């Protein structure tokens, strides 16, 4: 397999968090990202039906520049690099925005995916358990056992459960639910002092006029994710308030 080295500008806090996660998971970073980035480049083409405008692209690029980033080299297969370049060119995307977005998703926890998508992931657990195909795939993966199980897991859509929740939510709602790469990451998604608007693929025109003017916080990403994950989700809080009112 032919490989190609590419250099990306990776958000510093994300780079540190990813390094920790890969070490804990006993995974070779570039080998795993080779699969993930090709898979997500293919998904991107399906989840975004049109290209971003030049105005949108420049807005995203400008916001991305506000993040403190470090150059990181990745050794990927030529096929993966070609898929990334084709997808980003076709949808007029900032390549580093797309890659940073995918890598951020790799460390996000359910509550944060719920916040991004405007749904409570835990509301769909029972529906997932009732889905024969979902359960069959999961059981098959687990029953492989040992290294076979690990191999099956790392070659599965890394966001398969989240995408199933999106599918179910879209079927259950008249308004539908944004596809994963179409979902807008607001500037203050993790913290009011961290501007993550540069990690988007698309952005509505009316948002472009908003300039957050934020400074980069020093809080570590792992701490931010842990803090948010420890908080009850918005819908659960609302249900508890409603129950007390009764």
pLDDT digits (tens, 9 = 90+) for 143-192: 787 888 888 888 889 998 899 889 888 887 766 689 999 999 999 999 88
For residue 18, CA distances in Å to 32, 65, 156 come to 12, 20, 19
End-to-end Cα distance, the chain: 63
Beta strands in the chain, from DSSP E residues, in sequence order? 3-11, 69-77
Identify the residue with better confidence: 215 or 188: 188
Does the structure show a pLDDT above 80 at 63?
A: yes
CA distance 167 to 179: 9
Q: Which residues contact 102 (CB under 8 A, 6 or more apart)?
A: 36, 37, 40
Structure confidence by residue, pLDDT tens digits, 113-146: 999 998 888 787 777 777 666 677 777 777 787 8
Count of all residues that appear for the chain in the document: 246
Range of the domain at 16: 3-245
Question: What torsion do the CA atoms of 113, 115, 116, 118 make, to the nearest 10 degrees?
Answer: 110
Where is average pLDDT lowest: 49-58, 98-107, 119-128?
119-128
For residue 23, CA distances in Å to 19, 29, 151, 226 come to 6, 9, 17, 18
pTM (predicted TM-score): 0.84
Question: What torsion do the CA atoms of 129, 130, 131, 133 make, to the nearest 10 degrees?
Answer: 80
Q: Give the chain's mean pLDDT.
A: 85
Domain count, the chain: 1
Residue 141: enclosing H or E segment and its boundaries?
Answer: helix 132-143
Angle at 128 between CA 125 and CA 133, to 5 degrees: 165
Return the pLDDT at 65: 96
- 192-220 mean pLDDT: 78
CA distance 74 to 122: 35
């Amino acid at each position: 397999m032919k490989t190609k080295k590419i250099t990306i500008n990776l958000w510093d806090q994300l780079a540190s968090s990813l390094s920790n996660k890969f070490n804990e998971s006993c995974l070779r970073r570039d080998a795993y990202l080779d699969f993930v980035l090709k898979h997500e480049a293919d998904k991107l083409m399906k989840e975004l039906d049109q290209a971003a405008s030049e105005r949108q692209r420049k807005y995203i690029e400008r916001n991305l520049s506000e993040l403190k980033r470090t150059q990181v080299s990745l050794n990927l297969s030529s096929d993966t690099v070609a898929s990334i370049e084709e997808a980003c060119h076709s949808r007029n995307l900032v390549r580093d925005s797309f890659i940073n977005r995918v890598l951020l998703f790799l460390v996000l926890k359910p509550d944060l995916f719920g916040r991004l998508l405007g749904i409570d992931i835990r509301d769909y657990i029972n529906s997932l358990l009732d889905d024969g195909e979902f359960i069959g795939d999961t059981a098959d993966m687990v029953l492989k056992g040992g290294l076979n199980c690990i191999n099956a897991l790392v070659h599965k859509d890394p966001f398969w459960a989240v995408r199933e929740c999106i599918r179910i939510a879209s079927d259950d709602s008249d308004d539908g639910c944004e596809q994963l790469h179409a979902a807008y990451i607001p500037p203050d998604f993790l913290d009011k002092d961290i501007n993550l608007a540069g990690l988007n693929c698309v952005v509505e025109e009316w948002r472009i006029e908003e300039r957050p003017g934020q400074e980069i916080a020093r809080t570590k990403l792992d701490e931010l994710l842990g803090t948010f994950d420890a908080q009850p989700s918005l819908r659960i809080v609302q249900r508890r308030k409603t129950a007390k009112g009764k």
